[in-house]
Structures are given as C-alpha cells and as structure tokens.
Structure 1
C-alpha cells in the first residue's frame, strides 16, 4: 500500500448498520475534514484527469460534486454536474438506470459537453456501477468522449468494475482504494 493510500484509508470511518442493518458504510467526512488528506485525494484524482487528457470533469450527485469540482480546478478543467432528474434548469439529456430496488434517472445540461470534450467521471465510491454507467451513456449521447472513470474507493465485492469495464469500451477505470 502506498503512502497516499494509507493516508486516505486512515481517514475513512466505518459506520456499522448504516443506512440499514448489515451494511458497513464507508464515511468519507473525516477525510474531507483533514486538509492534507483532502488535498492528497484531490491531487491524485487531478493526476488521473491530466493523465487521461481530459478536458472536463463530470461529478456525480452528490459526493462526486465534492470531489469532482476541486479536481477540475486543480487540473485546470471545466466541471460538469450530473444531477438527479429534475434538478437542472433548461435543456437536459436524461438517462434512466436500474437500482437494486427500482430505478432512477440522472441528467446533464445538453450544451455543457461537445464532441471536442474528453470527460473524466469522478465519484467517491464505485459500488454496483449503475450511476457511473448511466453517466457514461449521457456523456456519449452529448457527443463527447469518455476519458475514463476515477473513484476514491471501489467496493470490489459488489461487482461494479465488471459492469463498467464493458460500458467504458477500453477507457480506464481508476480506483485509489479497493476494499
């Protein structure tokens, strides 16, 4: 394990039985509260963005906003929020996806991405991959290229990587931590 991985992992708190019994929630708020750890995380993700020649960073609601916006600033790139349906004004592209119990929809402003853009998707956790997969579809529907997906942590036991690798069509998936 690298020094940055040790630092990040040491600032992630386990919360048992949240949001329901049997779930071990990975709380990143202690990491965000530590300026050194947050800066290290932002720097590592910005390195991924520049290494993939991204022109924009997409952050997935809601914790992807917290991570994606400073990554975009640090890398000198634009930031685009991908929101839950109905939260963005104006013309949007919408993508539905399945959840474990039901379905959901996300949106992006139609004019925020162009064919000239290479977009890195940033989020805190890769679990089953449904939201990230839907965002990849939105990016492509907007005419942009997917530069890859970068997350703080991947919950490997949930199988999201296999789902995303197919959707990514060769673009990289980077997880700073795999749990």
Structure 2
C-alpha cells in the first residue's frame, strides 16, 4: 500500500496561484474559499533582498491532531496516509479547525461541514496527479509514494534535503525545499 506525500520546492514557485485555482476548480470551491494559502517571506537587506513564496495546505500529518480531537471520528486517515473528512459524520463543531497547527481547514457555510485538502483522492485513485501538481507551471510540486524509495518524490526529498514545514510539530506528508 502506498503512503502518499508531496514535495514543494519554494525556490521554483513563482506565485502564479495555478495550484490554488486548479484546487478550487477540482473541489468546486467558491472563489473566497481555498485549501491552499500563500505566504511570502522577505529576507535580506537592500539591495540583496530575497522573496520566498510558499504554499501551505493540509500537511496530512502522520499523527493528525485534527483526527484525535474529532468527537464523531469524521476526520480519519486512510491506509495510504491521506487525512480525510467524512461529511456524513461531521457535525461542524470546529474542534479540528482549532487543533490544526497549519490552519488548513475551512468550513462550508451552507452545510457546516469542515473541509480541507484531500490530495485529490479521486484523481489519485484513477492513477492521476492531484490538480495542484498537474497544473504547476514551474514543476515546484512532486507527488507520489513516500514509501517507495524509487518514486520521484522520495528521490527528490533526499536529493534536495526537503523537510516538513514545521519539524517541531511532528511528521507530515508534505516536504519543503527552502
């Protein structure tokens, strides 16, 4: 069984928002709702200034704090490591939203269901890449099986010494090159 994950190379990201827009379209999200948020960090002193753009979304934590606080077990982790929400079980209590250290969840204002990145589980089941990966114009995103040492994502994580965004918060399935 695969254990899916992603690597995002912030050095390649140009901030075009193609990943965000494709995610919104794939998940039929309203314009004001997104599973991907962008942050910019400016470092250095003029004239040697560097601007880093990085995308943050659900990190699909190994020991997901959102899952452990869910009173109805609506949040769960699949066998292949994808953290999902069962909309039939979600009561909209927002405990998971509070527990998420990445603030990667949003609530559907019509249904009350809490939503988040699903790694485009339906596309992945068809053998395709998540929408954010397939539309990235700068190939800053790589997706695949973290347990397969020969997968493109595993090789890239090692090659570029990619790390989780916040190592102090535990293991995640999204790695960043910064």
TM-score with structure 2 setting the length = 0.29
Which structure's residues are more often helix, by fraction? 1
TM-score with structure 1 setting the length = 0.29
